[in-house]
A and B are shown apart, each in its own frame.
Chain A
Amino acid sequence: MLLRLHQIDKFYSTGEGPLHVLHGIDLSLEAGKSLALTGESGSGKSTLLHLVAGLDSPDAGEIHLGGTNIVGLNDTALAALRRGTVGLVFQQFNLIPSLDVAANLAFQARLAGRPDPAWLKVLAERLGLAKVLTRYPEQLSSGQQQRVAIGRTLAARPRLVLADEPTGNLDEATGDAVLDLILSLVTETGAALLMVTHSNRLANRLNAHVHLQAGRLV
């Protein structure tokens, strides 16, 4: 099992006291498989994804990633995990504004110490970015930006791809095309995919589907 969550609890501190966002979440995902996570706005989907990515820590429970429990790891270890093992695609504010598309695409792979120019070239072609490599993020459409973000994540060949509404900013046709791409590339690299989405239609195209309601899996 690549990913296993056990009895995860998460609180946020707010002005009105602690907010219990996730209640005893249990979840697992095998390598090479894809899992969709749906739920109403505010149900805790993004929070869950962030915990898995090592961006934030749970208040209780265990997260096993490739056999190690990442809960309680220090900042440096978590950063190494983000660099090497997982790849993240957010809905927005994904890219580094001061670097051009080519540098953005290569960034994470180089950071992880796995640069692979041939693979990058293939990705740029497949994502339709070959013609915009020298542009800066602000000069791209949101669909193009999203494709750069996806390409950047996949370029590093992470074992687990985490995507938070990667198609939320796109129209339906483009969204479908982008999802196709993600799915085929994930399959080709043998990675696992955990994707948050609002759309049941998209969720149904993945291997499995779980639903969050007020912080509990149903």
Chain B
Amino acid sequence: MVWTGLTALLSHWRMRPVQLAMLLLGLSLATALWSAVQAINGEARASYDRAAAILGQDRLAQLVREDGARIDQQVFVRLRRAGWLVSPVIEGEMRFGDVRLRVLGIDPLTLPPQAQQVDIAAGDQLLPFITAPGVLYAAPETAARLTEQATPPVRVAEGLPPGTVLTDIGQAQVLLGAKDKISRLLLWPDQPIGRAPLKLIAPGLTLREPSETGDLARLTDSFHLNLTAFGFLAFAVGLFIVHSAIGLAFEQRRPVFRTLRALGLPARVLVLLLIAELLIFALLAGLVGVALGYIVASALLPDVAATLRGLYGADVPGTLSIRPAVWAAGLAIAVIGTLVAAAQSLWRLWHLPLLAAAQPRAWARASERALRAQGVAAMVLLLTAAGIAQFGSGLEAGFALLAALLLGAALALPLVLTGILHLGGRLARGPLAEWFWADTRQQLPGLSFALMALLLALAANVGVSTMVSSFRLTFIGWLDQRLSSELYVTARTEAEATAIHDWLAQRSDAVLPIWSIEGRVAGQPAAIYGVADHATYRDNWPILSAVPEVWDRIATGEGALINEQLARRQGLGLGDQITLPGGWRASIVGVYADYGNPIGQVIIGIDTLVQHYPDVSRLRYAIRIAPGKAEALARGLRAEFGLPAQNVIDQAGIKVFSLKVFERTFNVTAALNVLTLGVAGLAMFASLMTLSGMRLPQLAPVWAMGLTRRHLAWLELSRGLLLAALTMLAAVPVGIALAFVLLAVVNVEAFGWRLPMHLFPGDWARLAALALLAAGLAAAVPAWRLARLSPSDLLKVFAHER
């Protein structure tokens, strides 16, 4: 009986292959976009974990200086003498030719076994490791990048994070130019009892507990949350297709359900059979979806990796590894999504009265009731959104606001469209026009899910493109202010730097040092820059708020400027005091815009910097010169000092590079946006195709009364276009609201900067054209089929056989 029932149910799909294809396509696309985002996030997280786990940092406690500054090697010796089991580590960034790497120096003799990253002691490898010129261990892809460069011998070691080399601490100190300095001390897990307290031996150090998540994972959190939100949006849009496909398939099979019930199949068994059927589809589509997701992800990953490197300095490999977790999660989300999408239909089936006559319009009428409930839900959601906007705070609240706003708007759409179509009918003159509006209104329940999906996709497009374009505009203006010097030069050694400085003194208008140290400010990683007292800064720096005579106060050494993200994250304002690495304090005299930088930044006078940090590396300078002479000077510099090309960069070069990083940052969101729009177009197509089969009884009387099939087909096409156009109109305000939330709430929470909003109606017009094209294509196929329908097929409507 069960088998017979299942065959009867499945035979439906053999009759309607297009409907089946749409269901599977919708589900696999939804799963694909979701899995793509998951695969990308998974890859990135895995590499953060690898970075966080390096040298056992996830399991070993460490001793560090609170301000992040380096520690004297003497401290290590004192601790060892006092009985502490510690091992020194130095780390820093450096360049080998044009390859920038993180150098990790370890002491193989005191290294705790938990921190054993590479088996150095194996065979006779220890001696070459600890004696000059030393050995660099690197992951295979990092080693490959180093083959062209002049470095100590490189050995390949699995398990190291990309972009990192491991070497002996003595070699590392030489490479990094930090003689007798260490960055931190690893603590062995078991320490002898009765050793002298830390405060006595090394007063400046604090204990940092092992942490699972490194700074990278924290810094990039918001980026990944962003991706996840978009993945989820795409998935939700896909589910709208699945929902409407399942709903229609259930509706069309009502007579079959009734017959099966009448023949003695219990309702429970029927529902279970349908769930089984859905599970088969979900698993099939899930497998295809995850596979597709990998394809999408590997297309997007290079951009994501570049973004993460450019924005956060996080090294993520550009290739994907296949993760079982992604497959499992993909299948699970496909199954859960299907069940969620089918819940309403299954519930209705459970309550299907056995004897009620088949009513082709019952579905539409139930939808009218649903419309009212939907309106209430929309109101509640929009009010919730308003409430969160008013009282909420934090990134999660920002995304909750987005979700409530989008879902509320989507649910309100059918109601709004019904109103507009009513009005259209009221204004219409002539029988055909009146019929057109009335009939369009009647189509709404069947199309509403596709239209809601379209609204979401369009609103996301309007919102994100407004956000990105606003950002771009602000960013370009900011770059012009920020990069006001004509040339930037980086020397290879301090001696060379001094020589360059002297050489330039005669040949340029000004030579401005760009020297900085890294450390911690208010517990977070930050960079401290020194600036010269020069008009370049006074005239151009992108100050957001400042006390009067701000540059004078920087020059005299009393004040510090901080970037917007540091101010927002720490709640700092003008006049507040901050403690800088080394323990000295400065008062905040201004806040400036610093887009695209994940960490905090502090600017002080150059003399103050040198006075507090005498070891600061003095390699970089900005050069002011008449723009027309810049190129000749750059050539002269390179020739005079034999500098590699990338050590002398002109303003335009940096701008191009910065804009490239900027564009790549939003490539992923743009791609997800286009894909979501595609999915929504497909939803529209699927719904129109399915509806077209049910529409003949509504169209045949009009045809019989004297309209040509071609005329009807045109009307059908216009109907699709009209609905898409109205949806696009509704999407614009929703998109603007979305952009506002992204700019004023999400960006502030995620990145720490707030951007002014600029509107670009030209972009909307382009999007509207695209939406109309998609809707036109979606409506064209059923319309074309209608135009080509044979009269005898239309006449069947009037015959008894229906």
Which one of B697, B705, B798 has the highest number of Cβ atoms from chain A below 10 Å of its Cβ?
B705
Chain B positions 747-802 with a Cβ under 8 Å from a chain A Cβ: 791-792, 794-795, 797-800, 802
| Chain A residues within 8 Å of B704, by CB | 53, 55, 82, 88, 90
B701 touches A75 (CB 8 A): no
CB distance from B525 to the nearest CB of A (A): 65
Interface bin, chain B: 20 to 34
Q: Is the C-beta of B431 less than 8 angstroms from some C-beta in chain A?
A: yes
Interface-located stretch among B233-241, B260-268, B706-714 = B706-714
Give 18 A-B contacts (CB < 8 Å), ordered by A residue.
Answer: A50-B791, A50-B795, A53-B704, A55-B704, A56-B795, A78-B708, A79-B711, A91-B798, A93-B697, A93-B797, A96-B698, A96-B701, A97-B698, A98-B435, A98-B439, A98-B441, A108-B706, A111-B431
Kindly supply a per-residue 1/0 record for chain B positions 39-53, scoring 1 wherever the CB is within 8 Å of any chain A CB and 0 otherwise.
Answer: 000000000000000
A138 touches B708 (CB 8 A): no
CB distance from B398 to the nearest CB of A (A): 43
Chain A positions 71-85 with a Cβ under 8 Å from a chain B Cβ: 75-76, 78-84
B708 touches A56 (CB 8 A): no
| Chain A residues within 8 Å of B710, by CB | 75
A93 touches B700 (CB 8 A): yes
B708 touches A94 (CB 8 A): no
Q: A93-B701, A93-B798 are in contact. Are A98 and B438 (CB under 8 A)?
A: yes
B residues touching A (Cβ–Cβ < 8 Å)?
Answer: 361, 365, 430-432, 434-435, 438-439, 441-442, 697-698, 700-711, 791-792, 794-795, 797-800, 802
Q: A83-B705, A88-B704 are in contact. Are A96 and B798 (CB under 8 A)?
A: no
Which residue on chain A has the smallest CB distance to residue B794?
A55
CB distance from A48 to the nearest CB of B (A): 12
CB distance from B23 to the nearest CB of A (A): 27
Q: Is the C-beta of A65 less than 8 angstroms from some C-beta in chain B?
A: no
Q: Is the C-beta of A106 less than 8 angstroms from some C-beta in chain B?
A: yes
B431 touches A106 (CB 8 A): yes
| Chain B residues within 8 Å of A213, by CB | none
CB distance from B337 to the nearest CB of A (A): 33
B701 touches A95 (CB 8 A): yes
B708 touches A99 (CB 8 A): no
B797 touches A103 (CB 8 A): no
Which residue on chain A has the smallest CB distance to residue B365?
A138
| Chain B residues within 8 Å of A187, by CB | none
- How many residues on the A side are at the interface (Cβ–Cβ under 8 A)? 36
A92 touches B798 (CB 8 A): yes
| Chain B residues within 8 Å of A97, by CB | 361, 442, 697-698
A107 touches B431 (CB 8 A): yes
Q: Is the C-beta of A112 less than 8 angstroms from some C-beta in chain B?
A: yes
CB distance from A104 to the nearest CB of B (A): 9
| Chain B residues within 8 Å of A96, by CB | 435, 439, 698, 701-702
Chain A positions 34-89 with a Cβ under 8 Å from a chain B Cβ: 46, 50, 53, 55-57, 75-76, 78-84, 88
Cβ-neighbour of A75 out of B439, B442, B709, B792 (below 8 A): B709
| Chain A residues within 8 Å of B708, by CB | 75-76, 78-79
Which residue on chain A has the smallest CB distance to residue B798?
A90
Q: Is the C-beta of A119 less than 8 angstroms from some C-beta in chain B?
A: no
A111 touches B434 (CB 8 A): no
A residues touching B (Cβ–Cβ < 8 Å)?
Answer: 12, 46, 50, 53, 55-57, 75-76, 78-84, 88, 90-99, 103, 106-108, 110-112, 138, 164
Which one of B441, B792, B798 has the highest number of Cβ atoms from chain A below 10 Å of its Cβ?
B798
| Chain A residues within 8 Å of B707, by CB | 79, 83, 111
Which residue on chain A has the smallest CB distance to residue B700?
A93
Within the assembled complex, what's the spacing in Å between the Cα atoms of A138 and B359?
A: 10
Within the assembled complex, what's the spacing in Å between the Cα atoms of A4 and B703?
A: 24
Which residue on chain B has the smallest CB distance to residue A106?
B431
A82 touches B791 (CB 8 A): no
A56 touches B791 (CB 8 A): yes
CB distance from B515 to the nearest CB of A (A): 76
A111 touches B791 (CB 8 A): no
CB distance from A216 to the nearest CB of B (A): 21
| Chain B residues within 8 Å of A110, by CB | 430-431
Which residue on chain B has the smallest CB distance to residue A137?
B361
| Chain A residues within 8 Å of B703, by CB | 55
Per CB-CB distance, the 4 closest pairs between chain A and chain B, nearest first, are: A83-B706, A110-B431, A82-B706, A98-B442
| Chain B residues within 8 Å of A99, by CB | 434-435, 438
Within the assembled complex, what's the spacing in Å between the Cα atoms of A83 and B802?
A: 25
Which residue on chain A has the smallest CB distance to residue B709?
A75
CB distance from B592 to the nearest CB of A (A): 62
Cβ-neighbour of B706 out of A50, A84, A98, A164 (below 8 A): A84
Within the assembled complex, what's the spacing in Å between the Cα atoms of A108 and B794?
A: 19
Which residue on chain B has the smallest CB distance to residue A112?
B706
Which one of B431, B697, B698 has the highest number of Cβ atoms from chain A below 10 Å of its Cβ?
B431
| Chain A residues within 8 Å of B797, by CB | 93
A107 touches B705 (CB 8 A): yes
Cβ-neighbour of A108 out of B441, B705, B795, B798 (below 8 A): B705
User: 7 other contacts beyond A98-B439, A112-B706, with CB at 8 A cut-off?
Assistant: A57-B791, A79-B707, A80-B706, A83-B706, A96-B435, A96-B439, A103-B434
CB distance from A79 to the nearest CB of B (A): 4
| Chain A residues within 8 Å of B441, by CB | 98
Which one of A56, A84, A96, A99 has the highest number of Cβ atoms from chain B below 10 Å of its Cβ?
A96
Q: A75-B708, A106-B431, A111-B431 are in contact. Are A46 and B792 (CB under 8 A)?
A: no
CB distance from A105 to the nearest CB of B (A): 11
| Chain A residues within 8 Å of B697, by CB | 93, 97
| Chain B residues within 8 Å of A76, by CB | 708
